[in-house]
Amino acid sequence: MNIRKLILQGEGTTLDFKKTITNNEKIAKSLVAFANNRGGQLLIGVADDGSIKGVKSEEEEKYMIIKSAHQFCRPAIEPEFEEVYVDSKLVLVAKIAQSDTKPHYALDENKKWWVYFRVKDKSILASKIIVDVLKNEHMQTGQLITYTAQEKILLEYLGDEGRITLKQFSKLSRCSHKQARKILVSFILADLIQPHTSEKEEYFTMIEAK
């Protein structure tokens, strides 16, 4: 593994740097976010700026990660490890596979379970729409869409404006947030629209036909 080349990519959807592991809740959040998305790698012993600091005890770091993965993640996650030396400094690589038992929940400091999702270089709290998509991803084959007046409103608005939020769709279609959310989830699972999520907002756009 070429650690330097990997570090040059910078933190992103499938890569996170950790100088050291000090908090089970924080690491569980990262593990869950990777498992709920496309998987990823944690580089332990690498600072946020990409500088290689190395780990003092790989066994302690492994223990913390495994404890987080087993006790602070639900369902439990099974990371794989690789040890790589760079200029006599040890970098511990924890590999998290994309899960087939989504969604995974992480336990926070208040003993509450939350779903997280990886977006760019952040592990963010998943919205109810993202959680519903994760729960139903394995059933997406042959997703049937019923085009009622509400679905037509959604498509027409996206065609004119390019993007829409849950609140906007609920207001336009005069349906409850719960019903609007259900329609958006079905469209995401059918690969007709895609979510754009950040810590500040969530909106949806059409997926362009290939």
Topology (CATH level 3) of domain 3-126: 3.30.950
Instruction: Give rounded-to-5 percent helix, strand, coil for the chain.
Output: 40, 25, 35
Rounded average pLDDT over 164-172: 97
Please state whether 50 falls in left (phi above 0), alpha (psi between -120 and 50) or beta: left
Q: What integer pLDDT is reported at residue 140 of this predicted model?
A: 56
Q: What pLDDT, in 10s, does the model give residues 72-109? A: 999 999 999 999 999 899 999 999 999 999 999 999 99
Rounded average pLDDT over 131-138: 92
Is residue 164 classed as helix, strand or coil in its secondary structure? Answer: strand
Helix (H), strand (E) at residue 32: helix 24-36
- For the chain, counts of helices (H) and of strands (E): 7, 10
Q: What pLDDT, in 10s, does the model give residues 175-201? A: 999 999 999 999 999 889 999 998 889
Instruction: Give the pair of three-digit tokens for residue 207.
Output: 């997926």
Q: What integer pLDDT is reported at residue 199 of this predicted model?
A: 85
The strand pairing partners of 44, in sequence order, are 18, 92
172-176 contacts, C-beta under 8 A, 24 or more apart: 173/149, 175/150
> pTM value?
0.90
Q: What integer pLDDT is reported at residue 141 of this predicted model?
A: 55
Q: Which percentage of the chain shows pLDDT scores above 90?
A: 87
Higher pLDDT residue, 153 or 1?
153
Q: Is the pLDDT confidence value at 142 over 60?
A: no
CATH number of 133-206: 1.10.10.10
Confidence of residue 208 (pLDDT cuts 50, 70, 90): confident
Domain regions of the chain by residue span? 3-126, 133-206
Q: What integer pLDDT is reported at residue 143 of this predicted model?
A: 58
Rounded average pLDDT over 47-69: 95
